[in-house]
Amino acid sequence: MNPRTLTPSMSLLLAFEAAARHESYTRAAHELSLTQSAVSRQVQILEKMLGMRLFNREGRKVVLTDVGRMYQRELAEALGQIRSATLQAMAFGSGIHSLRLATLPTFGSKWLLPRLKDFYTAHPGMTVHLHSRIESIDFDTSEIDAAICVGGGEWPGLSALPLHTEELVAIASAQLSAAERDDAEQHIAGQLLLNVSSNTQAWAEWFSQHALPHRSMRIGPSFEMTAHLIQAVRANIGVGLVPRILVEEELLKGELLQLGEAITSRRRYYLVYPPRNENLPSLKAFRDWLIETL
């Protein structure tokens, strides 16, 4: 087989990958600063080289064929490796090292940002670009180098460095009366329980570890962001269950009250990244700093 058939040009691959990701020639053209017809031609040339259809037309839409979906999946990983290699070469050549880091919003604002100056002091030639993310990261299609996530440790295909075991504390408004503070556990049993949508079983774990009946749980609204839950607790809407690491300052100042004993969660914080980024200088420096700091 002609080697050229096995190594299509980068312009063909980029046009196909963008069209496949969006399943739209129009959106791919906008992303690549091309015309729609140019993207269509590139895809047609690629299909002719491969001898198979990568898209089917359904009305005015284009939909990946089964082989097109497989090709896109493999190609996205390969293009991600090329981009990573290019970034590393540029970083080495310029002497300027940057890290594009995704982080949970509340962890980023409450824990990471107050300490980031220490990282810059230790590594004056490096820059961390922060991106807030709640959803999972697709490292093949995004321009993210690494992410700080929380979970049970199942990150298939990624390197995962455990950072910190999540310790959960029940928090309440500082408006509680002295009697309510003295009988904290019973107070919780009668209150609206606020939770984070990504960890809906947390209150059941808390009640079990404090030997409280689950039937007394009054589950209230859930929040996508922990910061919003904390604000709801401040407003005395209910009590919340949050990672201690995110409310240490408020507890110390007496702005929030801890009810009962903390529990150890089944989850941990992790630094996750594709194995191809293992030797990225900025990531190595940031990873070592996190290990020393946490």
Report how far apart the first and last C-alpha atoms of the chain are (Å, whole number): 54
Q: Which of 152, 103, 94 minimizes the C-alpha distance to 128?
A: 103
What pairs with residue 196 in β-bridges? Answer: 223
70-79 residues labelled b (16+ CB within 10 A) or e (exposed): ebbeebbeeb
Q: Is the dihedral of CA 135, 139, 143, 145 positive or negative?
A: positive
Specify whether the CB–CB gap between 216 and 189 falls below 8 A: yes
Cβ neighbours for 276, distance < 8 A, ≥ 6 positions apart: 80, 81, 84, 85
According to the model, what pLDDT value does residue 96 have? 57
C-beta atoms surrounding 292 within 10 Å:
9
Output the six-digit token pair for 169. 């504390």
- Which H, E and C letters describe the chain, residue by residue? CCHHHHCCCHHHHHHHHHHHHHCCHHHHHHHHCCCHHHHHHHHHHHHHHHCCCCEEEECCEEEECHHHHHHHHHHHHHHHHHHHHHHHHHHHHHCCEEEEEEECHHHHHHHHHHHHHHHHHHCCCEEEEEEECCCCCCCCCCCCCEEEEEECCCCCCCEEEEEEEEEEEEEEECCCCHHHHHCHHHHHHCCEEEEECCCCCHHHHHHHHCCCCHHHCEEEEEECCHHHHHHHHHCCCCEEEEEHHHCHHHHHHCCEEEEEEEEEEEEEEEEEECHHHCCCHHHHHHHHHHHHHC
Output the six-digit token pair for 73. 């999946």
Backbone angles phi, psi at 52, to 5 degrees: -160, 160
Rounded alpha-carbon distances, angstroms, from residue 280 to 79, 87, 90, 137, 285:
17, 9, 11, 18, 9
Specify whether the CB–CB gap between 13 and 79 falls below 8 A: yes
According to the model, what pLDDT value does residue 80 have? 78
What pairs with residue 170 in β-bridges? Answer: 241, 259
Q: Which fold has domain 3-90?
A: Arc Repressor Mutant, subunit A (1.10.10)
CATH 1.10.10.10 residue ranges of the chain are: 3-90
CATH 3.40.190.290 residue ranges of the chain are: 97-294
Q: Per-residue pLDDT for the chain (294 aa), expressed as one digit of tens each?
A: 565 667 889 999 999 999 999 999 999 999 999 999 999 999 999 999 989 999 998 877 899 999 999 998 888 888 877 877 776 666 555 545 789 999 999 999 999 999 999 999 999 888 999 999 988 888 887 889 999 999 988 899 999 999 999 999 999 988 876 656 666 666 677 789 999 999 989 999 999 988 888 888 899 999 999 999 999 999 989 999 999 999 999 999 999 999 888 999 989 999 999 998 998 889 999 999 999 998
According to the model, what pLDDT value does residue 3 have? 59
pTM here is 0.70
Specify whether the CB–CB gap between 171 and 258 falls below 8 A: yes
The architecture of the domain spanning 97-294 is 3-Layer(aba) Sandwich (3.40)
